[in-house]
């Protein structure tokens, strides 16, 4: 309900002093310093900035690990110290500082971990985006669904259904667009079941989501084994989307290939992020959606049909997640396989929370998680000593830290998870 506490005079409004950011920066700087200085990995790390067939070729960047490690440690400590100084004089740590800190930290880690190897920068970024595409679409689906008040744990199931439908329909029709459409319909179907049980029958939303994941996993596995495997040629050999080069832009060094030589699904993803952001915060659709998720009664009393709004947007979320699912079969792998989504739906869910239910922040979170998992891939190819399992763990650990560390600050849609009924 609305708050009933009268805000007192402004001088008493001073927010409680928060030492969390400076504290964390210091801790990270010290940890990085320990690794870079005390566990030195002497050698040279080579960053490959261009590949052979790039239009504009940049020379490789070679970095000697020990001096770079020491230098970066000093820089990190200085930044952390500045943050502490700001805090002690009562000011907040500016965002640019955190961003610079993060970039230096990652750079330092790459130099340290990649010692003696060559790191393909563009390849790493391409891989990051590749892993992130479904995560971003999944998290957008989660943002839409949770913002309207329905917790969507079934993103994984929507992915899987989308991937399956896309593979089958694209194989049968020989048309990738048809496969794409089928994926969206399949995602929406899973969402429809979620809506039916959560909104019509008031079953706990998380329970429906979990059970739906089991259901879709069982169903696709059954159909794969029973129908797809014996008829692999006809049913599970879909055409794949070909990358579309955008003239000029795709020739930009380093990022050109990453952003502008991609498949239709990726471009659709870019559009989706922008559209969801714009729609959510600048249109009637978004205003009503958020009102329904924050205070359904208030929405109801101004004549907004709460449950209809929820159903529509949960379905829309399903369409977006289904699109994400199609990427597995039509964008990357090229055929359906049992449980091929491998928990990506849950990482997308984590991105929603980590991104605080904001489409742009959730996209960033998805990219971060995508970066972490492609980094482990690249590092293991380079023969790095960091066990790949720990890199794979990273998104999950980061999410746990985020929900535990920022629980007070993380405020989701107030009515998410609660069914709405009138007497």
Partner 1 sequence: MLELRGITKRFGTVTANDGIDLIVEPGQIHCLLGENGAGKSTLMNILYGLYHADEGEILLDGVSQKFAGPGDAMKAGIGMVHQHFMLVPVFTVAQNVMLGHEPTHPGGRLDMAAARDLVRRISNQFGFGVDPDALIEDLPVGIQQRVEIIKALSRDAQVLVFDEPTAVLTPQETDELIAIMRRLKAEGTGIVFITHKLREVREVADTISVMRHGQIVGQASPTASSSELANLMVGRPVELTVKKNAPAPGDAGLQVSALTVTDERGHRVVDDVNFQVRGGEILAIAGVQGNGQSELMEAIMGLRSASHGSVTLDGKELLGSSVRQILDAGVGYVPEDRHVDAMVAEFSLMENMMLDRSVGLPFVKYGTVRQPVVDQFTRERMAEFDVRAVGPHIPIGRLSGGNQQKVVLARELSRDLRLFIAAQPTRGIDVGSIEFVHQRIVRTRDAGVAVVVVSTELDEIAALADRILVMYQGRVIGIVPANTSREDLGLMMAGVTPTTKEDPHVQQFN
Partner 2 sequence: MSSNLTSDTTRSASTEQQAPTNSPSQPQAKTTPGKWRTVLREISNGNTIINIFSVIIALAAGAILIGLTDEEVRESFGYFFARPTDALRAFWDAVAGAYSALFQGAIYNFGRPGFLNGIKPLTDTLTYATPLITAGLGVGLAFRSGLFNIGGRGQMLIAAGCAGWIGFGIQLPWGIHMIVAVVAGIAGGALWGGLAGLLKARSGAHEVITTIMLNYVAFYLLSYLLRTPLLQAPGQSNSKSAPTAETAVLPSLLGERYTLHFGFILAILATIGAAWLISRSSLGFRFRAVGENPHAARVAGINVGKTYVMAMLVSGGLLGLAGSFQVLGTTTSGFTPGIDAGIGFDAITVALLGRSRPWGIFAAGLLFGAFKSGGFAMQAAQGIPADIVVVIQALIVLLIAAPPLVRAIFRLPHDGSKLTDSKKVATA
Residues found near partner 1 in the complex (CB under 8 A)? 1-8, 12-16, 282-284, 287-288, 290-291, 294-295, 297-305, 408, 414, 422-423
- Binder among 137, 153, 184, 372 for partner 2 (CB under 8 A): 153
- Binder among 346, 357, 369, 371 for partner 2 (CB under 8 A): 346
- Complex with partner 1: residue 304 or 364, whichever CB lies closer: 304
Cα 78 from Cα 86, distance rounded (Å): 12
Cα 341 from Cα 339, distance rounded (Å): 5
Binding mask 286-315 for partner 2 (x = CB under 8 A): ----------xx--xx--------------
Q: DSSP assignment of 63-118, as one string?
A: EEHHHHHHHHHHHHHHHHHHHHHHHHTT-PPPHHHHHHHHHHHHHHHHHHHTTTSE
Exposure string of 221-256, with b = 16+ CB inside 10 Å and e = fewer, is eeebeeebeeeeeebbbbebbeeeeeeeebeeeeeb
Torsion of CA 273, 355, 389, 116, to 10 degrees: 70
Q: 138 with 344: CB under 8 angstroms? A: yes
CA distances from 419 to 147, 149, 302 (A): 13, 8, 18
Residue 305 three-state SS: coil
- Complex with partner 2: residue 76 or 416, whichever CB lies closer: 416
The interface partner of residue 13, options being partner 2, partner 1, none and the CB cut-off 5 to 8 Å by kind, is: partner 1
- Binder among 100, 106, 219, 254 for partner 2 (CB under 8 A): 219
Closest C-alpha among 376, 354, 372 to residue 363 = 354
- Complex with partner 1: residue 28 or 420, whichever CB lies closer: 420
The interface partner of residue 206, options being partner 2, partner 1, none and the CB cut-off 5 to 8 Å by kind, is: partner 2
Q: How many CA atoms lie within 13 A of 168 on its CB side?
A: 17
Q: How many CA atoms lie within 13 A of 158 on its CB side?
A: 40
Closest C-alpha among 68, 64, 32, 52 to residue 120 = 52
Query: In this structure, is the dihedral angle defined by the CA atoms of residues 125, 384, 48 and 38, taken in order, positive or negative?
Result: positive
The interface partner of residue 130, options being partner 2, partner 1, none and the CB cut-off 5 to 8 Å by kind, is: none
The interface partner of residue 302, options being partner 2, partner 1, none and the CB cut-off 5 to 8 Å by kind, is: partner 1
The interface partner of residue 42, options being partner 1, partner 2, none and the CB cut-off 5 to 8 Å by kind, is: none
Q: 154 with 144: CB under 8 angstroms? A: no
- Binder among 34, 103, 202, 274 for partner 2 (CB under 8 A): 202
Cα 104 from Cα 94, distance rounded (Å): 16
The interface partner of residue 12, options being partner 1, partner 2, none and the CB cut-off 5 to 8 Å by kind, is: partner 1
- Complex with partner 1: residue 254 or 360, whichever CB lies closer: 360
DSSP 153: -
CB of 270 to partner 2, least distance (A): 28
Binding mask 362-401 for partner 2 (x = CB under 8 A): -------------------------x-xx-xx--xx-xx-
- Binder among 204, 245, 251, 358 for partner 2 (CB under 8 A): 204
The interface partner of residue 3, options being partner 2, partner 1, none and the CB cut-off 5 to 8 Å by kind, is: partner 1
The interface partner of residue 103, options being partner 2, partner 1, none and the CB cut-off 5 to 8 Å by kind, is: none
Q: Which residues form the interface with partner 2 (CB under 8 A)?
A: 151, 153, 193, 197, 201-208, 210-215, 217-219, 221-223, 225-227, 230, 296-297, 300-301, 343, 346, 349-350, 353, 387, 389-390, 392-393, 396-397, 399-400, 403-405, 407-408, 412, 415-423
């Amino acid at each position: 309900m609305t708050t009933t506490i009268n805000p007192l005079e402004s001088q008493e409004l001073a927010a409680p002093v928060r030492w969390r950011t400076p504290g964390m920066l210091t801790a990270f700087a010290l940890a990085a310093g320990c690794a870079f200085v005390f566990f030195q990995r002497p050698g040279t790390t080579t960053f490959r900035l261009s590949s052979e067939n790039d239009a504009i070729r940049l020379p490789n960047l070679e970095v000697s690990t020990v001096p770079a490690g020491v230098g970066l440690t000093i820089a990190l400590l200085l930044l952390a110290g500045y943050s502490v100084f700001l805090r002690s004089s009562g000011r907040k740590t500016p965002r640019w500082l955190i961003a610079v800190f993060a970039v230096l930290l990652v750079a330092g880690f790459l130099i340290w971990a990649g010692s003696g190897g060559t790191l393909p920068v563009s390849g790493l970024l391409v891989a990051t985006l590749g892993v992130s595409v479904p995560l971003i679409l999944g998290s957008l689906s989660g943002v839409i669904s949770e913002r309207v008040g329905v917790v969507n744990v079934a993103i994984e199931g929507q992915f899987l259904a989308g991937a399956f439908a896309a593979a089958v329909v694209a194989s049968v029709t020989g048309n990738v667009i048809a496969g794409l459409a089928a994926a969206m319909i399949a995602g929406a179907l899973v969402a429809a079941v979620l809506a039916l049980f959560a909104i019509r029958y008031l079953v706990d939303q998380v329970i429906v989501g979990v059970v739906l994941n089991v259901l879709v996993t069982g169903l696709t596995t059954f159909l794969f084994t029973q129908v797809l495997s014996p008829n692999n040629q006809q049913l599970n050999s879909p055409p794949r989307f070909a990358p579309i080069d955008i003239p000029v832009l795709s020739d930009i060094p380093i990022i050109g290939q990453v952003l502008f030589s991609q498949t239709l699904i990726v471009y659709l993803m870019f559009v989706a992020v922008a559209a969801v952001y714009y729609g959510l915060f600048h249109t009637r659709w978004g205003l009503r959606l958020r009102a329904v998720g924050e205070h359904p009664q208030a929405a109801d009393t101004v004549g907004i049909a709460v449950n209809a709004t929820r159903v529509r947007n949960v379905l829309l979320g399903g369409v977006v997640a289904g699109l994400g699912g199609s990427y597995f079969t039509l964008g990357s792998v090229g055929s359906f396989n049992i449980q091929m989504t491998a928990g990506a739906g849950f990482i997308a869910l984590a991105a929603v929370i980590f991104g605080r239910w904001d489409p742009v922040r959730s996209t960033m979170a998805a990219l971060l998680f995508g970066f972490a998992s492609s980094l482990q891939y690249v590092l293991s190819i380079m023969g790095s000593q960091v066990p790949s399992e720990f890199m794979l763990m990273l998104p999950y650990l980061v999410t746990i830290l985020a929900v535990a560390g920022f629980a007070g600050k993380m405020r989701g849609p107030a009515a998410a998870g609660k069914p709405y009924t009138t007497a």
